[in-house]
Amino acid sequence: MGQVPITPRNIKFALGGEDKRNWFAGDPVRTAILDGASILFPYGEGKFIESVIHFRDRITDPRLLADINAFAAQEGVHSREHRRYNKAIEAFGGDIARLEKRLRDVVEKMERRGVSPEYKLALTCAFEHFTAMLAHELLADPHFLDGAEPEFARLWRWHAIEEAEHKAVAFDVWNQVGPKGLRGYLMRVRAMLRATRIFTSQTRFNTHVLLRERGQTNVLRNARRILHFAVIRPGLLRRSFGVYLSYFRPGFHPWQHDDRHLIEQHKNSYAAEPVIAAE
């Protein structure tokens, strides 16, 4: 079960108004990377909620049931706020609806092939591992958001705190309802490999499209700067790689990587207002 209380925070962020097309320290590449990731969240987090809620009737542990409801509430607000975020950044350049549809098409094609609810849950566990890794790096590096527009930085820290809080919920449900033994392990591994392809390819594609549509047309220069962000500074992928590989251990659990100190360090910056749990 979770190691910290999962607290849904019903916050609305003020992201519209003046042109903040390079809101991340005036850097169009850093801005486009996070904007490209944001495009995935409204649809993606809705699917995460569906995959976990599908199994709620099979869960008897009252604490895990409470965690499921809090997870759904948090993800519901994340989806709402990133939808508002995406609407705000559309003014900077980029056909957000087309990029969102690209992800939706991938998921719907997979669903037409008849994947099981258990496999969808395994995918959610894998994506939640990605968001937990990125949340850890964002919260652990005090300079990660240096120079960012305050409200954008505030949104990303809020999102990171809540991803850290609920990072084990889908996995705990999986441990209750997923296939056991070698079959379950192999399903979890296959799901992580697919989630890796989807997350990296969609984010990379979104970033390049946003840069091009915002006037940054030097593809090779953009690619070098994206690689620098991922591997050198701040080096998200480099710093997260060991944690990523840990997911492939048979006995893995998300709270083997303890983020409680980071949550405690940052959570008091955000008012906790009640959110109605998703049905």
What does the pLDDT look like over 172-206, one tens digit per residue?
A: 999 999 999 999 999 999 999 999 999 999 999 99
For residue 274, the model assigns a pLDDT of 44
Q: pLDDT grade, residue 268 (50/70/90)?
A: confident
Say which CATH class 28-267 falls into. Answer: mainly alpha
Q: Is the pLDDT score of 273 beyond 70? A: no
Q: pLDDT grade, residue 276 (50/70/90)?
A: very low
Confidence (pTM): 0.94
- Domain boundaries of the chain, sorted by first residue: 28-267
Arithmetic mean of pLDDT over the chain? 93
Lowest-confidence range among 48-62, 149-163, 212-226, 260-274? 260-274
Mean pLDDT of 122-137: 97
Q: What is the pLDDT of residues 40-96, one digit of tens each?
A: 999 999 999 999 999 999 999 999 999 999 999 999 999 999 999 999 998 888 899
Q: What is the pLDDT of residues 221-267, one digit of tens each?
A: 999 999 999 999 998 889 999 999 999 999 999 999 999 999 999 99
- Six-digit token pair at 89? 């950044």
For residue 105, the model assigns a pLDDT of 97
